[in-house]
Copies of this chain bind each other. A is one copy, B any other.
Amino acid sequence: MLILAALLAAATPAQPAPSPQEIVDSAPATDWPAIPVDDLLIMDLAPDAAGHARRVVIQLLPAPFSQGWIGNIRKLAAAHWWDGTAINRVQDNYVVQWGDPNEDDPKTAKALPAGLAVVPEREYVARKVTAPAGLNRETGERYYAGGLRVGFDDYGLTQFWHGWPIGLSSDPSINLNWPVHCYGMVGVGRNLPPDTGSGAELYAVIGTPPRQLDRNIALVGRVIEGMEYLSSLPRGHGPMGFYQTAPERTPIRAIHLASELPTGDQPRFQYLDTESATFARYADARANRRDPFYIRAAGGVDICNVPVPIRRAP
Contact yes or no, B212 A294, CB < 8 A: yes
Q: Which residue of B lies closest to A217 (CB)?
A: B293
- Asked whether any CB of chain B lies closer than 8 Å to the CB of A228, the reply is yes
Cα distance A301–B210 when bound, in Å?
9
List which A269-314 residues lie within 8 A (CB) of chain B: 286-287, 289, 292-296, 298-302, 304-305, 307
- Asked whether any CB of chain B lies closer than 8 Å to the CB of A211, the reply is yes
Residues of B within 8 A of A215 (CB): 295-296
**Nearest CB on B from A218, distance (A):** 12
Residues of B within 8 A of A90 (CB): 232
List which A186-231 residues lie within 8 A (CB) of chain B: 192, 194, 206-212, 214-216, 227-228, 231
Residues of B within 8 A of A289 (CB): 212, 216
Q: A207-B207, A302-B153 are in contact. Are A92 and B228 (CB under 8 A)?
A: yes
List which A121-174 residues lie within 8 A (CB) of chain B: 121, 124, 153-156
- Asked whether any CB of chain B lies closer than 8 Å to the CB of A242, the reply is no
**Nearest CB on B from A119, distance (A):** 14
- Asked whether any CB of chain B lies closer than 8 Å to the CB of A56, the reply is no
Contact yes or no, A233 B234, CB < 8 A: no
- Asked whether any CB of chain B lies closer than 8 Å to the CB of A110, the reply is no
Residues of B within 8 A of A153 (CB): 153-154, 302
Cα distance A107–B305 when bound, in Å?
39
**Nearest CB on B from A249, distance (A):** 15
Contact yes or no, B212 A298, CB < 8 A: yes
Listed residue (A192, A214, A298, A299) with the most chain B CB atoms within 10 angstroms of its CB: A298
Contact yes or no, B207 A154, CB < 8 A: no
Q: A228-B234, A231-B93, A295-B194 are in contact. Are A212 and B154 (CB under 8 A)?
A: no
Cα distance A233–B194 when bound, in Å?
35
Cα distance A210–B208 when bound, in Å?
10
Cα distance A214–B299 when bound, in Å?
11
Cα distance A35–B307 when bound, in Å?
36
**Nearest CB on B from A295, distance (A):** 5
Residues of B within 8 A of A206 (CB): 231
Cα distance A289–B208 when bound, in Å?
17
- Asked whether any CB of chain B lies closer than 8 Å to the CB of A49, the reply is yes
Q: Which of B49, B210, B228, B305 contacts A210 (CB 8 A)?
A: B305
Residues of B within 8 A of A192 (CB): 292-293
Q: Which residue of B lies closest to A208 (CB)?
A: B183
The 4 A-B residue pairs with the shortest CB-CB distance, nearest first, are A228-B235, A154-B300, A154-B302, A215-B296
